[in-house]
A and B are shown apart, each in its own frame.
Chain A
Amino acid sequence: EPEVTQTPSHQVTQMGQEVILRCVPISNHLYFYWYRQILGQKVEFLVSFYNNEISEKSEIFDDQFSVERPDGSNFTLKIRSTKLEDSAMYFCASKGRGSDTQYFGPGTRLTVL
């Protein structure tokens, strides 16, 4: 069964450093999302992406964040200058045309020291 994959599974970085989290959505899916989950808290929407542009973004998704679909298969989330409070699990999700179901990847645990 097709699945969303994410790399790396765990990323440790120093505060102020740039990180890029990578996702490979399910092929033929058209809608892509990033969510984050701070330890012990609920899953929060960050951004949605369709047709090579951002569809919607949350308050969390400030100028430090950016997304890109560089090659038609990968979907990346970049954090330019990480802060301690960026430490969280980051989940990528994708959805097919006409479907309600978002399929989530296993997540990347980001630890900012």
Chain B
Amino acid sequence: QQQVKQSPQSLIVQKGGISIINCAYENTAFDYFPWYQQFPGKGPALLIAIRPDVSEKKEGRFTISFNKSAKQFSLHIMDSQPGDSATYFCAASTGAGANSKLTFGKGITLSVRP
């Protein structure tokens, strides 16, 4: 199966709080897991990505946690800010190279309240 499933569907967080978005996949051949951020009227922009050889990756306020056995990965946004309000997509693909199409989750709208 090629599906990638995100939860929750929407999220409202207070400024300074932690935003957590979860993603589950089915295809065990997936070996690259990016999170994309999309603002209205813009294209998706890579936020952070992980390969399954590590369980966690942190870049600034953004952390990906990866659980290979559960086939799940999550995005944590620490100290959430109103500027983080956007749509977040998890995605997955099978390796580098020409055929590495991205399979996206449905996306989640994050609203960070001031």
Contact = CB atoms under 8 A, between A and B. Distances in A.
Contacts of B105: 42
A99 B96 contact: yes
Interface in B17-40: 32, 34, 36
A101 interface: yes
Contacts of A105: 43
Nearest to A99: B96
Interface stretch (A48-56, A66-74, A80-88): A48-56
Interface in A23-65: 30-31, 33, 35, 41-45, 48, 50-51, 55-56, 58
Interface residues of A, number: 28
Contacts of B42: 106-107
A45 B101 contact: yes
Nearest to B95: A100
Contact of A42 (B46, B89, B95, B99): B89
A48 B113 CA distance: 39
A110 to B, nearest CB: 14
A111 to B, nearest CB: 14
Interface of B: 32, 34, 36, 41-46, 49, 51, 89, 91, 93, 95-107
Q: Which 5 A-B pairs have the closest CB atoms?
A: A50-B98, A104-B43, A55-B98, A45-B101, A43-B104
Interface of A: 4, 30-31, 33, 35, 41-45, 48, 50-51, 55-56, 58, 91, 95, 98-107
